[in-house]
Structure 1
Amino acid sequence: MKLTIYAAIGAGLLSATSASAVEITGGSLKLSYSTFASETDLSRLGIEGSTELAFTQKFSMQLDLGYQNMGESDLDGSAIGVHAIYHLDNATSLGGFYTREKVNGASLDLYGVEAGYETGQWDFEGNLGRTSTDGDDATIFGASARYEFANQLGLTGSYDTVDMGMFDISRATIALDRNVSDNVNLFLEVGSAKFSADGLSASEPFVGIGGKIAFGAERGATFDQRGILRLLPGL
């Protein structure tokens, strides 16, 4: 799977270099903060930016930069990512992603496939991939669905999981957001994070707030960023 993803992204880059024109179609800047409900010192502050470049009507590339800081542990992480995206039509997008994440000097590679679909008031997105570090592999999966009401309010349900064999992380989230202007969206979220290791597991509720500034296309860039540290409500 890894070679297939790299080949798809490489083919996209090759197509990009031969394209006659490049256009920035959208992007976003996102700020988020979350913490566990019972341990507010265990928090996360995240800053993420994305830009999408269109080379043809069908093909585009998305570039990501992200930074995460964990409150109590003071753990820092940064991520740089690229997506090769094929827009099947105005409603459906398919992609392959690669992200290099660094956490306190240690590197982590994430790669996989993703898809997005819009119909009426609904937006759907999903991803499936692998991550590897120091020879250890893990499976990553994420899915989300958002419904936009007539009053500019949106309700999103999402689920993400990282299966590392002996240690698993998963989170389920419900988020309420509102467009406060043409390009500014604010949100608040509640959810539950579950940690499992050696047959033992524990779940903790968390809360979060944040906002996103988008430019160009209505949602900014096509896909969400990918990463492990950004899934943790706090540490």
Structure 2
Amino acid sequence: MKLTKILGFTALAVLAFGQARAQVEVTSGELRLGHERFLDDVVVNGDEEVLSRTSLEGALEIGIGYSGLGAQFDLGLDRAGLLDDTGVNATVHGLYSLPDGVTLGVFAGHDGFGSLDSTHYGIEGAFDTGLISGEGYLMGLADDVSGSAFGIQGGYRVLPSLQVGARLDRANLDDGADASRFGLTADYDVTESFSIGAELGVADGDLPGIGSADEGYIGVQATVGFGDKGGSSFDRRGLLDILPGF
């Protein structure tokens, strides 16, 4: 119900404002398929288990006339290797595009995984000069998992079709639990609309209902983009995005 209210109220507000000001149209989006896993198995109840996460994510962005205002709608499905369950992530972003490739935004959304529910909200910003790109956010967490989180990532295009970079995410939760990840990233443009990426890093966390881990991880992702930007303005948000595997 909380997720339905967030999505419904935000969509109605964007559409109503757009009809009052200008025409609303789909401008860009992307579809992503990825898999992440910890490099070493963990021992659970005497057995070695793999902490992994397979994700199918989609993002759709709309523009409101020529005002620079818009919205981005994200939906993701996560399949956990250890817990053998599927989680859902949904987020709505309100965004404002400035000159020179700068975008500012606010967001609200919900993560649901089994009996665990987490609502997230916050502010964000991104820029892309063509050679250098970056993105950052500040996020609050509520419901079953409450606290705060932040993240920053950036990339440098070393070749016309190759970008390398890094990301850092950190969540501090009210009950003393926490989660963090630091990774080095690389993305290769196979075509104008299709790219593949890889990430290698270290993650640690201790979350209620999920468990704890402190290991290196690896991830791969394939992305298909379309529209004016060939993708979305902002990356996925939420607690599940900070966890490479569970």
**How high is the TM-score relative to the length of structure 1?**
0.88
SS at match of 1:178: strand
Q: Distance in 2 between matches of 1:160 and 1:14?
A: 35
Residue 95 of structure 1 pairs with residue 105 of structure 2: yes
The match for 1:52 is: 61
Structure 1 residue 231, shift from structure 2 partner: 2.0
What does 1:1-235 align with in structure 2 at a 5 Å threshold? 12=14, 14-39=16-41, 41-57=50-66, 58-134=68-144, 137-165=146-174, 166-195=176-205, 203-235=214-246
Per-residue CA deviation, residues 196-226 of structure 1 (Å, 9 max, x unaligned), is: 58xxx96310011111000013341110111
Structure 1 residue 76, shift from structure 2 partner: 1.7
The two structures, once aligned, show a CA RMSD in angstroms of 2.2
Instruction: Name the amino acid aligned to 1:157.
Output: A
- Report how many aligned residue pairs link the two structures: 225
Structure 2: runs of 5+ lacking an equivalent: 1-8, 42-48
Instruction: Name the amino acid aligned to 1:80.
Output: A
Structure 1 residue 176, shift from structure 2 partner: 1.1
Structure 1: runs of 5+ lacking an equivalent: 1-6
Contact 2:40 2:50 in 1 (8 A): no
Contact 2:31 2:58 in 1 (8 A): yes
| CA distance 1:81–1:17, shift in 2 (3 Å) | farther
Structure 1 residue 191, shift from structure 2 partner: 0.5
Structure 1 residue 149, shift from structure 2 partner: 2.0
Q: Distance in 1 between matches of 2:213 and 2:113?
A: 24
Contact 1:159 1:172 in 2 (8 A): yes
Instruction: Name the amino acid aligned to 2:180.
Output: S
Instruction: Name the amino acid aligned to 2:23.
Output: A
Structure 1 residue 73, shift from structure 2 partner: 1.2
Q: Distance in 2 between matches of 1:112 and 1:20?
A: 26
Q: Distance in 1 between matches of 2:11 and 2:136?
A: 18
Instruction: Name the amino acid aligned to 1:230.
Output: D
**How high is the TM-score relative to the length of structure 2?**
0.84
SS at match of 1:149: strand
Q: Distance in 1 between matches of 2:170 and 2:36?
A: 18
Q: Which deviates the most, 162-171 or 32-41?
A: 32-41
SS at match of 2:82: coil
Per-residue CA deviation, residues 118-171 of structure 1 (Å, 9 max, x unaligned), is: 23500010000101014x521011100011122411102000111103011000
Q: Which deviates the most, 172-181 or 87-96?
A: 87-96
| CA distance 1:183–1:15, shift in 2 (3 Å) | same
Contact 2:118 2:146 in 1 (8 A): no
Q: Distance in 2 between matches of 1:231 and 1:177?
A: 19
Q: Distance in 1 between matches of 2:59 and 2:200?
A: 24
